Structure 1
Amino acid sequence: MKLNIKKWGINGEGIGFKDRKPVFVKGAIPEELVDVKIEKRFEHYSNACLIKVLKSSSYRRFSPCPHAQCDGCALMHVNYKGQCQMKASILKQALAKYANYNGKIEPLVKNNSVFGYRNSCKLPVKKRNGEIQTGMFKAGTQKFLPIDRCLVHEKELERVRSELLICLRKYNVPCLEGDGQGLRHIVIKEFEQKIQIILVSTPMHFSQSMIQDILNLENVCSVWQSIKIHDSVDIFGSQMNFLGGQRNMILHIDNLKLELLPRSFFQLNTSQAKNLYRTVREWLGPCESLVEAYSGIGAMSLLCAPKAKQVYGIEWINDAVQNANANAKNNGFDHVYFKQGDAASLFSKIDKVDALIVDPPRSGLDSPMKKAILKKQPDQILYVSCNPSTLAKDIADLKTVYAVERIRPFDMFSQTQHVETIVSLRRIQSKK
């Protein structure tokens, strides 16, 4: 079936229309004429597979990735100009559809490194032909795909990953198969040319000689083991064992020195994260009381601390809270405090809030948090989002009290469909 592709889908697909119903085509690009085969029909839309491109978009390119079948990067076949256009378009569509917002959106902040930008990798391991391999699970499946190189990982990550594999093979480390014992994943993080390695496994012993060999790899400064017994969404298990090197990773942002434990999250693109955090600081007005929900290691709270008399951070992950409080103390901020717990619950207990920073997961703000915001009514909200749809839906739920002041998108994850966005919301009604 021939189909004209009219617009982008939120997951990077092309969308055409058949009998006035959308047809989603993975790998197709707007303004293309394609030959497709319908795979699944639903009441209001269909999914189709791309058979052939009959008329190409000027945005189409030959994918430079030899492992495109992993589906981890939905836009490898789109040039960078097209990727930026897609992300701006998706954000604009979501805001119009869900929040009825058709106002100004500032230009997308482009990524200076469209390849080799990702500072962390979390890779499953399996044995193939008797040899341990790292790879990825094909999107939406448990099918393991061995991958010898990932183009979006920083070069140091890829070098260390290759050398770590040699070390694991040398010591014949078992991989988890069925109900047995063994290694599940390896996690590698890089900050300021220092590497941390976390071996995620069932309860098992790693020899000290192997740990020392890993620490002897160039720039590796830290090795941990995460004990994971049961399958779960969280890649880490409940127990984290320090095996050698230095406990914390170190990261500098402007004049801040930040420490990170293994469970602590930091944005996967260090350079763009700094640009994003500086924008939050720039947009935040002076205030008496500032709260950051989903605060992680406290980077945004600490960057914004000079603008507030009191700063409170709320975070669910305990390691991140430990890091955040230590970071506040080590950077000389005695008016910044972080607590572990549910965002809505703790936020509701704070007496007075003038400004709020939120950086929620892809699912956006949950209902209790939105209710708490509408009750507390801080003067300004700075919303950092990784999902245009949930961002727009949350803005719609808050618009009885808040108006959009500024919107700026960031290309944090080039080659993928994801777009990061900062929105400044200003209270428009008097507090009750």
Structure 2
Amino acid sequence: MNCKYFGECGSCRNYKDGYEGQLLKKIELNKERFKDMYSSEIDICKSPDSGYRARAEFKIWHIGDDIQYAMNALEHKGVVIIDECPQVNEHILKLMPSLLKEIKDKQIDKKLFGADFLSSSSGEIVVSLLYHKKLDTEWELQAKEISQKLGVYIIGRSRKQKVVVGQDYVTETLHVNGSDYKFMQIENSFTQPNPRVNEQMIAWAMHQFDGINGDLLELYCGAGNFTIPFASKFDKVLATEISKSSIAAAKNNMLLNDVTNIEFVRMSAEEFVQALDGVREFRRMAEIDINSYELKSIFVDPPRAGMDEESCAFAARHDNILYISCNPETLHRDLIYLTKTHDIQRMAMFDQFPYTDHVEMGVKLTKKA
């Protein structure tokens, strides 16, 4: 990727040796990090060199009567004014200048401080415009005109206010192992930002469950990014997630993909463990016959903080553990606990965020003989 803001913009930090150079640094760093518990090869899932982000957030910077996109400068020393970002996919890249022009022409730039983009691979886009003022009917009329002219959906956000022009989601299609999976991705909720790496992550995760029978338990399921494809590998899947909007999207995604063997439950991982062990009763579990599940396998994809010791102890009850992590540091901490009872069979590194220090990791563990 060539970017004229390398060395100024804080979004990219590891750029001097190109894509392959920054990838090699990450591989070596994580081989060293996990060498005390895993010495085999780490599977590597690479990203496209540019145009890989389907989700992006930009500041809107006011210079006199003009407005520009801006990003935090390297080392957070002010901001960098930009007119393009080669990280984003072709649809967002094309939209950025024309959107800014329309906002200025329609005079809805006052108190505007941010623009967030969410795009599908086919070019469906939701743009969220963030304001330090209440939005009125005149704003909505102008936003509708921009929406129709540019062929995008627009959401206006200010404190305690959300104005939707069109819809607040896009529908993404992921291609995995010769199959297509459709996902409703809702504005302002978590989605994987790099769809091409996401496809590789799902394919790798599915492969780790080859030849494993029974049912699957999934904690931290989000909107069903992994859950929906996993349904083809197991008799039944029981999936939990704390976010109400994510559970609603997951249930919709199940319908989009004609999947019928998943039960989604809105509760935290900690609550689910308490329910399963009879510590607490939850009405949300009332209609689920937990005894009908043969749960020998568990899949976890926790937030950056990883899992607490109670959740690790619960995961360790299962014969097969598949762990996807967005934070290798907390993953290493959790593996110290999990490798007391399980052996690591495979590890993978997913380069979701090129030119940064961040990677996602995958680990398959099986119970010790």
Q: State how far apart, in whole Å, the 2-side matches of 1:216 and 1:68 are.
A: 38
Q: State how far apart, in whole Å, the 1-side matches of 2:306 and 2:67 are.
A: 38
After superposition, what is the alpha-carbon deviation per residue over 1:108-158, rounded to whole angstroms, capped at 9, x for unaligned? 2222x2111111111122211221222112356483322211121112212
Whether the aligned pair in 1 keeps the contact of 2:168 and 2:186 (CA below 8 Å) is: yes
After superposition, what is the alpha-carbon deviation per residue over 1:246-295, rounded to whole angstroms, capped at 9, x for unaligned? 44311123332221221332211111101111111111143433122221
Q: 1:132 to 1:390 in 2, by over 3 A?
A: same
**AA aligned opposite 2:164:** F
- 2:170 is matched with 249
Farther off after superposition, 313-322 or 271-280: 313-322
After superposition, what is the alpha-carbon deviation per residue over 1:295-353, rounded to whole angstroms, capped at 9, x for unaligned? 12102111010222221222233222111011113322222122333222224434563
Displacement of 1:88: 0.7
Please state whether the residue corresponding to 2:113 is helix, strand or coil: strand
Whether the aligned pair in 2 keeps the contact of 1:289 and 1:311 (CA below 8 Å) is: yes
**AA aligned opposite 1:380:** N
State which structure, 1 or 2, has the greater radius of gyration over its C-alpha atoms: 1
Q: 1:183 to 1:110 in 2, by over 3 A?
A: same
Q: Structure 1 regions of 5+ residues with no counterpart?
A: 1-61, 176-181, 230-237
- 2:281 is matched with none
Alignment of 1:218-367 (within 5 A): 218-220=150-152, 222-227=153-158, 229=159, 240-244=162-166, 246-253=167-174, 254-285=179-210, 286-350=212-276, 351=290, 353-367=295-309
**AA aligned opposite 2:99:** L
TM-score, normalised by the number of residues in structure 2: 0.85
Cα RMSD of the aligned pairs, angstroms, is 2.3
Whether the aligned pair in 2 keeps the contact of 1:264 and 1:296 (CA below 8 Å) is: no
Q: State how far apart, in whole Å, the 2-side matches of 1:64 and 1:122 are.
A: 17
Whether the aligned pair in 2 keeps the contact of 1:67 and 1:147 (CA below 8 Å) is: no
Q: State how far apart, in whole Å, the 2-side matches of 1:142 and 1:196 are.
A: 30
Q: State how far apart, in whole Å, the 1-side matches of 2:144 and 2:129 are.
A: 14
- Percent identity between matched residues is 22
Whether the aligned pair in 1 keeps the contact of 2:220 and 2:242 (CA below 8 Å) is: yes
TM-score, normalised by the number of residues in structure 1: 0.74
- Paired residue total: 345
After superposition, what is the alpha-carbon deviation per residue over 1:200-246, rounded to whole angstroms, capped at 9, x for unaligned? 234322523322232134442x222233x3xxxxxxxx6543222x4
Q: 1:201 to 1:318 in 2, by over 3 A?
A: farther
Aligned match for 1:135, one of 64, 67, 70: 70
Greater relative CO (CA pairs within 8 A, separation 6+): 2
Please state whether the residue corresponding to 1:72 is helix, strand or coil: coil
Q: State how far apart, in whole Å, the 2-side matches of 1:67 and 1:173 are.
A: 31
Q: State how far apart, in whole Å, the 1-side matches of 2:355 and 2:149 are.
A: 30
Q: State how far apart, in whole Å, the 1-side matches of 2:2 and 2:49 are.
A: 14
Aligned match for 1:208, one of 140, 156, 175: 140
Whether the aligned pair in 2 keeps the contact of 1:290 and 1:355 (CA below 8 Å) is: yes
Q: 1:371 to 1:240 in 2, by over 3 A?
A: farther
